Amino acid sequence: LTPLKDTTDFPVGVAIDQRETSGAASDLLRHHFDQITPENHMKVEAWYDDQQRFQRHPQATALLDYAAANDLRLYGHVLLWHAQTPDWFFQDASGRELTDSEADKQLLRDRLATHIDDVARSIADDYGPFGSETNPLVAWDVVNEVISDQATPDGLRTSRWHDVLGEEFIHLAFRLADQAFNRDYAAPGSDRPVKLFINDYNTEQDAKGTQYEALVGRMVAAGTPLDGVGHQFHVSINTPVSALASTLDRFAGLGLMQAVTELDVTVNPATAANLARQGYYYRDAFEVFRGYHAGAPASEGLYSVTVWGLTDARSWRSEQAPLLFAGDLSAKSAFFGAIGQDDGLPPLVTTADV
C-alpha cells in the first residue's frame, strides 16, 4: 500500500497506546505515519500515583522509547484539561476546594508551574534536551477543550481552572510551557523546539468556532506564546467537508500554524453504503488539507494531521467505525480515500438506490 505519509507535505500522526508499539500493528503504523500522540498516558492524572507523587507512567515511557527508536515525532497530549485531572489539584492541603481568593489563585498557579516543569524535566532527563536528536517530543496540546459549548460572555468553558483563575490559566499555561520546553530544558541554539498548541472539538461548528477565534485573537494580542491552533475534527460522514475547509480559513492570516489533532469520521450504522461514503469523505477531507497546506505561507501551514486511533477496534467510538483501518488491520475504503486513490473506492450508493 502507498504510505499515507508519502501522500502529504505535512506529517501524518496517529493516537496510540503501548498496544500499537509491537507486532503487525507497529509495522502498519510505521509504514503509514511519521508521528504519534499518546491517546491517554500523558494526561494530567497519568503523571501522579495515588499518593500525589509525580511519576512518569510506564506507557508514556514506552511511547517515548518507541518514538525515539523509530524516528517518529511525538505530539504531547495534554498539559492542562478540565478532565482527567486529580481532584487535589483544586484543593488545599486540608482538602478544601480552592476559591478565587488571591491566596488560592497563587496555589493553583504554583501547582500548574510545578506540573509543567516536572513533565519537561522528566522527559529531558531521560531523552536529552528538547530539540536534540535523541528527544522525540516536538509539540504539546497545552490546553485542551477550554471553549464553552454554549455562548458565554468570554466564550470559555466553566471548569475549576476557570472558576479559580478566570482566563488567566490559559495564558499562564502557555507561558509556563514555553519557559520549560523552549528555554529551561531546550537544547542550546534550538529555536522553539516544542510547538505549543491550543486544542478543541467542534471548532468546525460556527458558534464554537467563533468563540475559539475570539480567544485565539486575545492570545495573539496578549503576546501569549502560542504556535498553533488545533482542531480535533471528531466528525461524521454528515459533517460537510466544506466546514473543515472554512474552519482552517477562519484561522489563516494570524501567523499561526494549524493542526488536525484527533480526526475520525463516524458512520452510523456501519453499512457497506455508509463505509463507501466514508471513503469519499476521507478523500475530500485530505484534499482540503493538502490544498490548504499548499496555499498557506510556510509559517501558517498544517503542522500535522493526526487520526484518533489506528484501527476501528481501538477507537473510542469503535461501533461507529470511524478510522482508516479495520480491527484486522486491513485498509478500509477510508484509507484509499485518504491517500487519494479513487479507484480503491466502491461506487457511491445514493439514498435513492437503497
Positions annotated as catalytic residues are: 145, 200, 262
Residue nearest to ligand G3I (CB): 316
CA distances from 300 to 190, 209, 257, 313 (A): 20, 18, 4, 34
Distance of closest approach, residue 37 Cβ to ligand G3I, in angstroms: 9
Cβ proximity to ligand G3I: between 79 and 107 the closer is: 79
Taken in order 290, 291, 294, 298, the sign of the CA dihedral is negative
- Minimum CB distance to ligand G3I, residue 163 (Å): 21
Tell me the closest approach of the beta carbon of residue 303 to ligand G3I, in angstroms: 17
Q: Which is nearer to ligand G3I, 192 or 316 (CB)?
A: 316
Toward ligand G3I, which CB reaches closer, 7 or 318? 318
Beta carbons of 41 and 15 less than 8 angstroms apart = no
Q: Using alpha carbons, select from 163, 153, 279, 259 the residue that is nearest to residue 211.
A: 153
Q: Rounded to whole angstroms, how far apart are CA atoms 197 and 142?
A: 6
Residue numbers of the site for ligand G3I (CB under 6 A)? Answer: 39-40, 84, 144, 201, 232, 262, 316
| Cα radius of gyration rounded to whole Å, the chain | 20
Write the DSSP symbol of residue 229: E
C-beta of 239: minimal distance to ligand G3I in Å? Answer: 16
Cβ nearer to ligand G3I, comparing 204 with 262: 262
Q: For the residues of 251-318, what is the DSSP string, one character each?
A: TTTSS-EEEEEEEEEE-SS--HHHHHHHHHHHHHHHHHHHHHHHHS-GGGSEEEEEES-SBGGGSTTG
